[in-house]
Structures are given as C-alpha cells and as structure tokens.
Structure 1
Amino acid sequence: MRAWLPTHRAGKSTIGNYKAAYKYFAPVHDQKMDDIYVDDLQECIDDCPKGKRTKENMKALCGLVYKYAVPRQYVAKDLILSQYLVINEKAAESRRTGLTMEELERLRQIIGTVPYADYAYCMCYLGFRPSEFLDLQFEHYNRAERYFTGGAKTEAGKDRIVPVSPKIQKYVDALIKDKIGGYVFCDQNGGRFNLRRFREDYFAPIIEAIGISREEREARLLTPHCCRHTFANLMKNASGADKDKLALIGHTTDEMLRHY
C-alpha cells in the first residue's frame, strides 16, 4: 500500500476511501504479499463493520495493489487474489468450512507419522490466523498458566489470551521443552516457518493423509485457515458466553461468530 499509493492518480475523495478501506486489512498489514492467502483477505472483508460500499472499496483496493505488485514481482502473476474475494454474504458463507470432528480425530492419529501434523492439530485448538500462529514465540507462552498471548494488530485481535487445550498440551510441551527463546512452531532450522511453504509443502499432504482428496480439499478450501474455522466450530459447540468465545477468536461482533 505504501509503495502503491504514491503511484495512483485519483481524486482526494477516492484516495480517502482507499485509505479508509486499507485500515480494515490490519490483520495482514505486517505480512509479505506472497504470504497472504485469499482466506486472510476474505476474513478482513467479512469482519469489516461497515457497509457494502466500504467492502467494495476494500476489494477494489486489493485489485489495484495486486495489479501494481505483479509486474514488480512482489507476487506471482497467478496470485491476483482480489478476483476471488466475495462481497455477497450468502456467497461468502458457502466458502467457509473447517474439519469435521471425524477428520480432526484422524488428524490426531497421524501425528508423529506425517510431518507437522501436530502443528495443524494445534492450530485447530488455538484459533489463531495462520500467520499469527507461526509468529508465536517462546516469550508469548505462559508456562505457569498454560496460555499463549498473541494475535493480529487489531483492537479485538491483538494480545489476546488463548488457553492451551488439554487436547494439545502435550504437543506444546514437547515443542517448548528445551527452548529458551525463538519460535514455538518453527521450521526444521528453528526459524519462522514461511507460510506459503507450510501451506503448500506440508499442509496439503496432511489433509490428503487424513483421507481428503485434492479435489475435495480445493472444493472445500481446506487451507491452513480452515483450522481457524475448525476452532470456531468447536467454540460454538462449547458452553460459555458468546463474548468470551469472540475474544478467543479475536472478533467483536456476534455476526462474526455466526459467520464462522
């Protein structure tokens, strides 16, 4: 946005609309464009509390920024994600999916035999966005109280406290056992996992390993973001106040809980 804006010629009012739309992409402001997936952008649009006009401006802004980025090789030419964004709520609703309880159990069963299956399983019980999840460091984990503090830089999402479920406690314990710093869910070299690499090289094989074909995976949009939807589904089925569930997910409105 910062690189594109000075190159765009438009009236003051139009530029103001784009600037206003941009702030609702706060969860992805710190990500490289090549790491952003369509689900990340779609969630930003869905979570925008403004009306249809603002959401249309958000989609238009995405199109312009990607049009600027492709010839400069900031992203691959087949990654113009704006074309996949949905404004119509009913159409957007049909895109949202997560793992079923049976699939979640099959995921648990392949931990230890399929690389990084434990990461995917933990994502389903923590509810962070994929980029937030991979950003978690040792300092974000409270050993005594057993919770993570993390999240995107939005008022509802930043520095939110997410308790570690007993379902994943042993996997988290194993990952932090000998660590005094660094990323918790790191790559094999101990560094931050590249989201695109994790999604394409590891998450896709994980989904296939639990019995979901490539065709079904693509039809259901089973990307790492689906783990966040799985978490939201688990929250909806759990007892507790909606405001507490929304706080865990990093949203502020009941409408977003229903969207998930």
Structure 2
Amino acid sequence: MKLPNGFGSIYKLKGNRRNPYMVVLTKRYVRVMFKIKREKIILGYYPTKKEALAALTNYHENPYDVKAYSITFAELYERWSEDHFKTLNNKSSMRSYTAAFKHSEPLHNMRFKDIKTNHLEGAIEDADVGSSTKSRMKSMFNLMYRYAIKYDIVEKNYAELCNSVKVKKKREKIPFTTEEIKKIWEIVEDVPFADMILIEIYTGFRPIEMAEIKNKNVHLDENYIIGGTKTQAGTDRIVPIHPEIKPLITKRYNSENEFLFNDYNKLAHNVTPLTYDKYRNRFKKVMTYLDMSHTPHETRHTFITCAKNCKINDYILKRVVGHEITDVTEKIYTHRNIEALIKEVNKIIFI
C-alpha cells in the first residue's frame, strides 16, 4: 500500500531484529548544492508493519513533539536537573542527585517512554550503593516522571509503582550528654577538629552549613555568624556565638582564608575548603578517639534539646536553627534584633 505524499515512510531493516520496522517522518526539505535533500526524523521502531502503520497514523491524528517522544533517560535528566537544581539551596543535594543519576546507568540510553517499573526497580536493585542512595534514586525517578508528565513526554508515573527500595528505619537522634560534652572539652586542644564539634553543638548549624561558613560572615566583635543553607528559613540566618565557644572561633578565624574551617593539603602546602565528606571523616575520628557513637547531625539535635530544656523563646530558637515559622504575626510583623537573639542563646547551659 502506497502512503500519501508527506505522510511518512515505513522501512524494514535487515537482520534479525526485535523491532525491524522503522517509521520515518519528513522534517523539512533543504537545498544542498544543486540538490534538494530531505531531513528525516525517526518516529520509532516496531515489531510488525501493522503496528508501524498504526503508530504513523496515530501521529497524524494526534501530532506530538517527536523529539520529546524519543528523548532518552539521560537527555531528560539533563533537562530536568537544569530546572530542578535551580530550586536547591545547597551543593550537597545536587551531589546526591548526580550520584543517583550515575548509578542509574542501565537506563541512560533507554527511550524514556519505553521505561517501565521493572526497569526502574532493576536499576535500583543492581546499584552497588547503600539504602540512602537507593532512596535518592527512587526520589529522582519520581521527580523526573512528574517533569515528563508536565511536558507531555509520558502519561503515567511508573516510579510511583516502584516498591523495591527497602529504606532502613532512621535511627532515633540521641543528643550528646553533659558528660560527653565535657569529654570533648578535655581533648579540644589535643585532637584535631574536636573544636569544630563543640562549635556545632553550641550553634546548631547543620554539618554541611559548618563546612561552608565564610570568615567574612563571622562577626567576632558583635558575637554572631551569618550562615546556613538548605531552606528559605535557614539560608543566611543570624546565629549567635555562645560565650563558651568564642575563644575556639577566634582561634580558627583567619581573614586570609575564605572559610572558617579548612583542610590542609600537605602536597601543595596550603589550605583547601573542607568538604562534607572530609568533615564526616574528621568527626568519625574524634568519636572513635572518645569511644562515642554519635552522628554529625546529633550535634544540632543537642543544641535544640539544650535550648528547649533551658526554655529559650521558641520563635527565637526557630530563627537561630532555620526552622520555618508558621505563625503569621511572628513571621511577618515581629523583627527580632540581634541583641535579642544573643541574649536568649546565652541562656543555654550545655555543661
């Protein structure tokens, strides 16, 4: 059966193929030298001529963006991440999605429209990573499918049916005890980065936020630091310097360095920024030295727990740690000055 002019073409490819029938559309005609050349777009590959004809007919009845229709997982990731990363406030989240994409390699060259739940589950199950990265993979799949549905690339979110990820139950956060904080103070002059743990306990900064504190944002004379990331409420917030840790911060402060906390490169004989991974390793070494089993995030939990035990103002606590304030009056109309924040935080007793 001869197809109408401009309708498209169906070709049977040579060899033993699962989908031997290729459907081709004409994108446009261009002049090359003295000849007219046809630019083609491949609509898809099909197991039978009947299915190929049906796909071609369906395209003309309901035209769609062929490029979007044939986009691969990797190509969609590039489009999605370009938009999504603009909404993120810290590099740690970006790195986690980049790692999730890297471990989804079996999907990279697949046409996104062809990916089903079994493909997603297979990629997660075969990834040689921990449960947190597997969870991030599933989260990324969900976000990519929502993006694809938004732009009419697919109609169904197969990631919602992906139930192969077994997420370990998060361990309950345990604050440092008074005795443990005292032990850290006892070795602060002798064990590298013990001071950093104390500063984190006394400020409530998140681990990643600690690594990104810049010296220009440390106001020693005024007793506060500007820092923080992750959320709108947490970004560039004012965090008072508790009197007990001011000597530690003063010792660390060096206006010639960009960041308050640094790593020393022995080969280059200079300081380099402290990444979260490096911070975590230093934290682990201190915990091993002291025979403790805390996680980096439990320093922040300790600050919040001690603040609540000392009954400091709840709204001030939220401002200091970067939690969202839902009370409209407090959020919009009340302007807490720096002196009020410092006065309230100075009430906290840690040891």
TM-score, structure 1 normalization: 0.64
CA contact (8 A) 1:182 1:191 kept: no
1:198 correspondence with 2:274: no
Which residue of structure 2 aligns with residue 78 of structure 1? 129
1:97 correspondence with 2:174: yes
Between Structure 1 and Structure 2, which shows a larger proportion of helix residues?
Answer: 1
Q: Distance in 1 between matches of 2:176 and 2:93?
A: 27
Which residue of structure 1 aligns with residue 290 of structure 2? 210
Quickly say closer, same or farther: Cα 1:111–1:70, change in 2 above 3 A.
same
Identify which of 73, 77, 92 aligns with 1:31. Answer: 92
Per-residue displacement from partner, 1:217-259 (whole Å, max 9, x unpaired)? Answer: 2xxxx222111111111211223210101111110258xxxxx
Cα drift, residue 128 of structure 1 = 1.0
Quickly say closer, same or farther: Cα 1:84–1:131, change in 2 above 3 A.
farther
Q: Distance in 2 between matches of 1:80 and 1:165?
A: 37
Q: Give the root-mean-square deviation of aligned CA atoms.
A: 3.2
Q: Distance in 2 between matches of 1:69 and 1:144?
A: 46
**What is the 5 A alignment of 1:87-166?**
95-166=172-243
Identify which of 282, 300, 303 aligns with 1:231. Answer: 303
Quickly say closer, same or farther: Cα 1:225–1:153, change in 2 above 3 A.
closer
Cα drift, residue 121 of structure 1 = 1.0
Q: Which amino acid aligns with 2:129?
A: D
Ranges in structure 1 where 5+ consecutive residues have no aligned partner: 9-14, 37-61, 255-260
Cα drift, residue 85 of structure 1 = 5.4
Q: Distance in 1 between matches of 2:198 and 2:222?
A: 21
CA contact (8 A) 2:216 2:255 kept: no
Report sequence identity in percent.
Answer: 25
Which residue of structure 2 aligns with residue 170 of structure 1? 247
Q: Distance in 2 between matches of 1:155 and 1:248?
A: 13
Cα drift, residue 153 of structure 1 = 4.6
CA contact (8 A) 1:246 1:252 kept: yes
Q: Distance in 1 between matches of 2:322 and 2:101?
A: 31
Quickly say closer, same or farther: Cα 1:78–1:33, change in 2 above 3 A.
farther
CA contact (8 A) 1:67 1:80 kept: no
Q: Secondary structure at the match of 1:190?
A: strand
Q: Which amino acid aligns with 2:259?
A: Y
1:6 correspondence with 2:76: yes
Per-residue displacement from partner, 1:150-170 (whole Å, max 9, x unpaired)? Answer: 111522101110011111110
Q: Which amino acid aligns with 1:167?
A: E
Larger Rg, first or second structure (1 or 2): 2
Quickly say closer, same or farther: Cα 1:207–1:239, change in 2 above 3 A.
same
CA contact (8 A) 1:137 1:183 kept: yes
Q: Distance in 2 between matches of 1:7 and 1:26?
A: 16
Q: Distance in 2 between matches of 1:205 and 1:66?
A: 25
CA contact (8 A) 1:134 1:195 kept: yes
Cα drift, residue 139 of structure 1 = 0.8
Quickly say closer, same or farther: Cα 1:191–1:32, change in 2 above 3 A.
farther
Quickly say closer, same or farther: Cα 1:248–1:78, change in 2 above 3 A.
same
Q: Distance in 2 between matches of 1:85 and 1:246?
A: 29
Cα drift, residue 69 of structure 1 = 2.5
Identify which of 320, 324, 349 aligns with 1:248. Answer: 320
Which residue of structure 2 aligns with residue 41 of structure 1? none
Q: Secondary structure at the match of 2:216?
A: helix
TM-score, structure 2 normalization: 0.49
Between Structure 1 and Structure 2, which shows a larger proportion of strand residues?
Answer: 2
CA contact (8 A) 1:243 1:252 kept: no
Quickly say closer, same or farther: Cα 1:209–1:159, change in 2 above 3 A.
same
Per-residue displacement from partner, 1:23-42 (whole Å, max 9, x unpaired)? Answer: 9x845x422666x6xxxxxx
- Work out which structure has the larger RCO, using CA pairs closer than 8 Å and 6 or more positions apart in sequence: 1
Cα drift, residue 204 of structure 1 = 1.1
Quickly say closer, same or farther: Cα 1:6–1:186, change in 2 above 3 A.
same
Q: Secondary structure at the match of 1:133?
A: helix
